[in-house]
Amino acid sequence: MATLNPQRPQQEYLSLPIDMEIGGVYLPPIAQALLLGLPIYLLLDWILRRLGVLQFVWHEALFEGALYACVCATLILLMGA
């Protein structure tokens, strides 16, 4: 006996980040993540300064660079998900 709604195996599609073009300039996904990460980084930096967390950091510039890298890496991972 045939069924009306056969079960199809679910296919997983690999979602690729969208390439953008702004004013005729190609903007690859990595540049999108870097640009989007900047305001997020600035907000996190401001919050950490207000809370006084940065006074416990040995090298402030290294910490800020690592924080920006972590924000951008998180955005890149979320863009690919």
Q: Is residue 35 part of a domain?
A: yes
**Structural domain boundaries enclosing 50:** 26-80
Q: Is residue 51 part of a domain?
A: yes
Q: Is residue 17 part of a domain?
A: no
Within the chain, what is the greatest distance between any pair of CA atoms?
Answer: 73
Number of other CB atoms surrounding residue 42 within 10 Å: 12
Q: Is residue 1 part of a domain?
A: no
Q: Is residue 18 part of a domain?
A: no
Task: Give mean pLDDT, residues 67-81.
Answer: 89
- Residues, the chain: 81
Q: Is residue 2 part of a domain?
A: no
- Residue 27's DSSP bridge partners are 20
Task: Give mean pLDDT, residues 57-69.
Answer: 95
The count of structural domains within the chain is 1
pLDDT level of residue 45 (50, 70, 90 thresholds): very high
Q: Is residue 16 part of a domain?
A: no
